[in-house]
Amino acid sequence: MSIVIIGGGWSGLAAAITLCQQDHSVHLLESAKQLGGRARNVEWQNKTIDNGQHLMIGAYHHMLAMMELIGIDINKSFQRYPIDITINDTEYQPLHLSAKGWLPWPFSLAWNLANSAGLSGLKQVANLQSNIPKLLKNKDISVSDWLLHTKQSERLIKQLWEPLCLATLNTPIDQASAHLLATVLQDSLGQNKSFADLLVPRQPLGDLFPRQAVRYIEQHGGKISLQTRVKQLLIKQKKIQAVITQDGETITAEHIIVATSPTQSADLTSPHLNIDTPAEYPICTIYLQYPFDTRLSSPMLGLTGTLSQWIFDRSKQHPGLMAVVISGPGEHEAMSKNELIQQVCKEIHQQLPSLPETADHSLVIREKRATFACTVNIEKMRPNSQTNISGLWLAGDFVANSYPATLEGAIRNGESCAKLLALSLA
Ligand SMILES: Cc1cc2nc3c(=O)[nH]c(=O)nc-3n(C[C@H](O)[C@H](O)[C@H](O)COP(=O)(O)OP(=O)(O)OC[C@H]3O[C@@H](n4cnc5c(N)ncnc54)[C@H](O)[C@@H]3O)c2cc1C
């Protein structure tokens, strides 16, 4: 039985691992020179860094289980921190989303929130949280409408909900799906304390999962071809036959999993499938190399009222390295790299005067199509893994799963697609 997987991002790799584990023979085709897709290694100044800062949390159960399956030691590969996020604003006092203290979860979170946002802030958050079941039963609305409906203050909107929405859905609150944000809040903050833990990889993303995945897939008889772009799917009488690569090679296959981004999947499968293509939004990461002894007091810090949204301390991997993240669309897209670096350095220095006014070296990485936009009713647009073409399957983070574009969603979809395919062969 020949199975071809198109795309060597985290989803395609998860599909390949799942099929190899069940003794199926797979051939994974990746157009780029390296695996990892939107979560890959980049070389810069003799350092291996990520194409963009990623945040993983304890609620990423499928990702962690997949890593364990292929022999990754989770404790060695990640530093795990109980949630402890401070969000500094240009106007308001810092706000703390933290589990620190002697109180048990979730009281510790409530206590720290009440201390920084007042009792009324805590009440508003509780009001929003208790509204989640009702919200999910009704039709989707925008996050802004939900915040209005649950009477959130200007301060909480600016300093808590806007940054959380951008960080998790990469979509501005007036467009973002309240259903999706509610699901994320429920799965991360509404459960066990460990689900909200921040997981910071000790190595670059490409070494963390893709490299280990290759070892597992090849040891289990799978094949991986890099720099192999699929140009066309060969489909006859509603049944998959083969793929044709850009070099003109025909690779026959009885089953094909397309594990690419939504627009790439729509292009590849057209006109046989009619995949709705969502808007795709950018994420910009600005790496700033400061003197080696530069540190933040916590792994990450949120900033509001500024262009910079989050600053991550990467000095455990590369001394003095900070990563500043700007999610979603915005005025920064029209700025030149130099303008962006200058503005971000200025903001960081104003908020954290212990950091120098300028960085020694800097790098701007703009991922223009970082994630699909998680807009209102997006769930209705997302396709299922199984298609009406025999032997054609879909994976990738966009396939329906009630999660935004995340590594967890990508792995979950790769795994579940492979399991459905395997079941069809049984
Ligand atoms: C800057 C940035 C920051 C992010 N931050 C976070 C975060 O903090 N937390 C989080 O969980 N997620 C985050 N994400 C999202 C996460 O990276 C993605 O959801 C995930 O990587 C998607 O994986 P995928 O396998 O579905 O798709 P992709 O990674 O897009 O993989 C698709 C692969 O298919 C290949 N391909 C495309 N067309 C073809 C073709 N015709 N033939 C062969 N190969 C092809 C591509 O080269 C690519 O390697 C971020 C993404 C970016 C870009």
pLDDT along the chain (426 residues), means of 10: 94 98 96 98 96 94 97 95 92 91 78 89 92 96 97 96 96 98 87 84 96 98 98 96 97 97 97 95 98 94 97 95 97 97 97 95 98 97 97 98 95 98 94
pLDDT for the residue numbered 194? 83
Quote the pTM value. Answer: 0.96
State if residue 260 touches ligand 1 by the CB under 6 angstroms criterion. Answer: yes
- Please, where are the H alpha helices in 318-396? 337-351, 378-381
CA separation for the pair 295, 43 (Å, rounded): 22
Topology of the domain comprising 280-372:
Polyamine Oxidase; Chain A, domain 2 (3.90.660)
* Long-range pairs of 41-45 with CB within 8 A, sequence gap ≥ 24: 41/204, 41/205, 41/206, 41/207, 42/365, 44/287, 44/363, 45/289, 45/361, 45/363
Whether 261 and 55 have beta carbons less than 8 Å apart is answered as no
Residue 260, both tokens: 């690419």
CA separation for the pair 142, 140 (Å, rounded): 7
Residue nearest atom 53 of ligand 1, based on CA coordinates: 370
Q: Quick one: CATH architecture of 3-77+203-278+375-425?
A: 3-Layer(bba) Sandwich (3.50)
pLDDT for the residue numbered 48? 97
pLDDT for the residue numbered 103? 74
Residue 341, both tokens: 């670096």
Report domain extents, the chain: 3-77+203-278+375-425, 98-190, 280-372
User: Residue 251 Cα, ligand 1 centroid: separation in angstroms?
Assistant: 24
What DSSP line would sit under 199-260, residue for residue?
EEESS-HHHHTHHHHHHHHHHTT-EEESS--EEEEEEETTEEEEEEETTS-EEE-SEEEE-S
State if residue 412 touches ligand 1 by the CB under 6 angstroms criterion. Answer: no
User: Residue 20 Cα, ligand 1 centroid: separation in angstroms?
Assistant: 21
Nearest ligand 1 atom to alpha carbon 60: 11
Domain pair 3-77+203-278+375-425 / 280-372, same fold: no
Residue nearest atom 20 of ligand 1, based on CA coordinates: 407
- For residue 310, give Cα distances in angstroms to 87, 165, 200, 348: 9, 13, 15, 10
State if residue 287 touches ligand 1 by the CB under 6 angstroms criterion. Answer: no
State if residue 244 touches ligand 1 by the CB under 6 angstroms criterion. Answer: no
Residue 37, both tokens: 């897709």
State if residue 179 touches ligand 1 by the CB under 6 angstroms criterion. Answer: no
Residue 126, both tokens: 């509780």
CA separation for the pair 275, 269 (Å, rounded): 8
State if residue 372 touches ligand 1 by the CB under 6 angstroms criterion. Answer: no
State if residue 259 touches ligand 1 by the CB under 6 angstroms criterion. Answer: yes
State if residue 17 touches ligand 1 by the CB under 6 angstroms criterion. Answer: no
State if residue 264 touches ligand 1 by the CB under 6 angstroms criterion. Answer: yes
User: Residue 9 Cα, ligand 1 centroid: separation in angstroms?
Assistant: 5
CA triplet 158, 170, 137: central angle to 5 degrees? Answer: 85
State if residue 282 touches ligand 1 by the CB under 6 angstroms criterion. Answer: no
- For residue 80, give Cα distances in angstroms to 54, 83, 154, 274, 424: 14, 9, 32, 42, 39
User: Residue 197 Cα, ligand 1 centroid: separation in angstroms?
Assistant: 23
